[in-house]
């Protein structure tokens, strides 16, 4: 890469996004965004830029070092290529309609240059996401000709949750989180994985427990955002009564919600909200999905499905991370933990290893680890001073009153394992040659789980 681009786009109003859409992947976010595009004054980019997710990865690394900036720019350009061109072309190949707005290669070069220059400045946390989003919003507004623009990426929910998003009077951009019950979501994930030419479905892979954990991870992030002021949109409500759902959504944005406009938006939604079919799932799979996802569903206000098989789940003693764990063992800042204790056990003991570069954790700074119940209660916590190699032990009380009772007598807990810090090796180079090619946000590793 040459020097960072110092030019400018054609003169336009540098305004931020007017709304953001996130939620549970395969949960209806695209349908929600596509419907908004039927409004004469709204454009919602539904092609998943993943920019807020990228900002999250970089937000704890601010500013990106000069040595790492060329590699960060190259990775940002690659992400834009995948999400704004290749994914769009794949969706068209699979029968999706032509999107109302598309980017070309030259467009992405300019976007990558301007965004990379922003990453080299001292913006932190949500400010980093705001800066990248503002650049995208300006281009969406200019190209679409619509006065109000938004962006849809399901992982916006995960990223904004970790960035500490909170609705404030001065925050003009509403956040919509679109959610759906787990069986329809997991069935859609499986269908994507079964397609041999789908190169974008790898994030859904794993066992049934890991798919349910993937669902729970996103659902719990959505629940926290709701408490912080986001707007909930259940797909079951959206498809069951779209006229009411879209009238309310348009009121949140503050645009006209005439009967004709609402009807146009509602016509885009197929009436599928009552499909809670468990077909295709074996009895033991249903029980496992129900047991893992019910705590998250409680936080979203769904309540228990009368057909739930959670009480029939039968699990062996042990502990594992079922979401937020990379294949080599590294954890993201928030991961989903499944612990299964025997009735006589009093504690679950977790050993967690971490090591952070000095640029991430200073010698006198503290790294905190915690295990949190799905309702936010802290079940265990530990800390270490500095980022040097350390092993943290967390002891979690086995409580029959709050753990789920399995059919074989064992006790199940689904909780979140959280670290206060993460690093992106690419953004902070440990080697004199510059940044690594590792673009993941990493915290530590769960090395051992025991019970006593």
- Cis peptide before 95, with omega less than 30 degrees from 0? no
CB 353 within 8 A of CB 369: no
Residue 1: pLDDT over 60 = no
Same fold, 19-266 and 314-451: no
Mean of pLDDT values over 211-229 = 97
* Annotated domain spans of the chain: 19-266, 314-451
Side-by-side strand order, sheet with 19-23: 42-45, 148-152, 19-23, 175-179, 231-234
Q: How confident is the model at residue 6 (pLDDT cuts 50, 70, 90)?
A: very low
Residue 293: count other Cβ atoms within 10 Å of its Cβ.
27
Percent of the residues in the chain that have a pLDDT greater than 90, as a whole number? 74
Mean of pLDDT values over 349-373 = 94
Segment 232-254, tens digit of pLDDT:
999 998 888 999 999 999 999 98
Segment 275-295, tens digit of pLDDT:
557 988 999 999 999 999 999
Q: How confident is the model at residue 80 (pLDDT cuts 50, 70, 90)?
A: very high
357: β partners: none
Q: Quote the pLDDT of residue 195.
A: 94
Q: What CATH number does the domain located at 19-266 have?
A: 3.40.50.300
| CA distance linking residue 368 with residue 421, whole number of Å | 8
Which DSSP category does 170 fall into?
T
Residue owning tokens 């904004």:
160
Q: Quote the pLDDT of residue 133.
A: 92
Q: Which residues contact 307 (CB under 8 A, 6 or more apart)?
A: 276, 278
Q: Quote the pLDDT of residue 270.
A: 67
Residue 132: pLDDT over 50 = yes
Residue 7: pLDDT over 70 = no
Mean of pLDDT values over 318-342 = 97
CB 341 within 8 A of CB 403: yes
Segment 145-188, tens digit of pLDDT:
999 999 999 999 999 999 999 987 665 689 999 999 999 999 99
User: Lowest mean pLDDT: which of 10-19, 188-197, 387-396?
Assistant: 10-19
User: Lowest mean pLDDT: which of 71-85, 108-122, 325-339, 420-434?
Assistant: 420-434
Average pLDDT of the residues of the chain: 90
User: Lowest mean pLDDT: which of 120-124, 190-194, 269-273?
Assistant: 269-273
Mean of pLDDT values over 296-301 = 96
| CA distance linking residue 370 with residue 320, whole number of Å | 15
Residue 262: pLDDT over 60 = yes
Mean of pLDDT values over 292-304 = 96
Q: Quote the pLDDT of residue 37.
A: 92
Q: What CATH number does the domain located at 314-451 have?
A: 2.60.120
């Amino acid at each position: 890469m040459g020097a960072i681009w110092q030019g400018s786009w054609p003169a336009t109003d540098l305004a931020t996004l007017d709304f953001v859409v996130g939620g549970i992947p395969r949960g209806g976010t695209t349908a929600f965004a596509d419907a908004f595009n039927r409004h004469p004054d709204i454009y919602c980019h539904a092609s998943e830029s993943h920019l807020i997710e990228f900002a999250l990865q970089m937000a704890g690394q601010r500013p990106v070092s000069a040595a790492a900036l060329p590699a960060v720019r190259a990775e940002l350009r690659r992400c834009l290529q995948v999400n704004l061109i290749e994914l769009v072309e794949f969706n068209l190949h699979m029968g999706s309609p032509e999107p109302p707005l598309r980017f070309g290669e030259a467009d992405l070069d300019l976007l990558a240059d301007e965004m990379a220059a922003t990453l080299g400045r001292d913006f932190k946390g949500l400010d980093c996401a705001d800066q990248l989003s503002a650049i995208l919003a300006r281009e969406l507004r200019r190209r679409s000709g619509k006065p109000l623009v938004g962006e849809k990426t399901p992982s916006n929910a995960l990223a904004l949750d970790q960035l500490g998003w909170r609705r404030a009077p001065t925050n003009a951009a509403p956040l919509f989180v679109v959610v759906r019950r787990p069986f329809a979501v997991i069935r859609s994930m499986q269908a994507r994985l079964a397609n041999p030419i789908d190169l974008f479905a790898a994030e859904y892979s794993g066992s049934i427990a890991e798919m349910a954990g993937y669902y729970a991870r996103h659902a719990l992030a959505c629940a926290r955002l709701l408490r912080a002021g986001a707007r909930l949109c259940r797909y079951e409500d959206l498809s069951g009564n779209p006229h009411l759902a879209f009238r309310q959504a348009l009121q949140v944005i503050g645009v006209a919600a005439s009967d004709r406009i609402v009807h146009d938006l509602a016509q885009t939604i197929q009436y599928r909200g009552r499909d809670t079919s468990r077909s295709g799932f074996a009895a033991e799979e249903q029980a496992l999905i129900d047991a893992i996802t019910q705590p998250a569903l409680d936080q979203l206000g769904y309540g228990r499905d009368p057909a739930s098989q959670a009480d029939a789940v039968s699990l062996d003693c042990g502990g594992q991370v079922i979401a937020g764990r990379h294949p080599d063992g590294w954890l993201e800042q928030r991961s989903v933990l499944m612990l299964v204790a025997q009735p006589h056990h009093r504690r679950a003991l977790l050993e967690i290893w971490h090591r952070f570069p000095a640029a991430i954790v200073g010698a006198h700074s503290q790294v905190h680890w915690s295990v949190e119940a799905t309702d936010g209660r802290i079940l265990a916590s530990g800390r270490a001073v500095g980022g040097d190699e350390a092993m943290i032990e967390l002891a979690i009380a086995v409580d029959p009153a709050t753990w789920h009772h399995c059919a074989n007598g064992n006790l199940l807990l689904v909780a979140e394992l959280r670290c206060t810090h993460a690093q992106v090796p690419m953004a902070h180079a440990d080697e004199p040659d510059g940044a690594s090619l590792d673009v993941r946000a990493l915290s530590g590793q769960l090395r051992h789980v025991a019970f006593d």
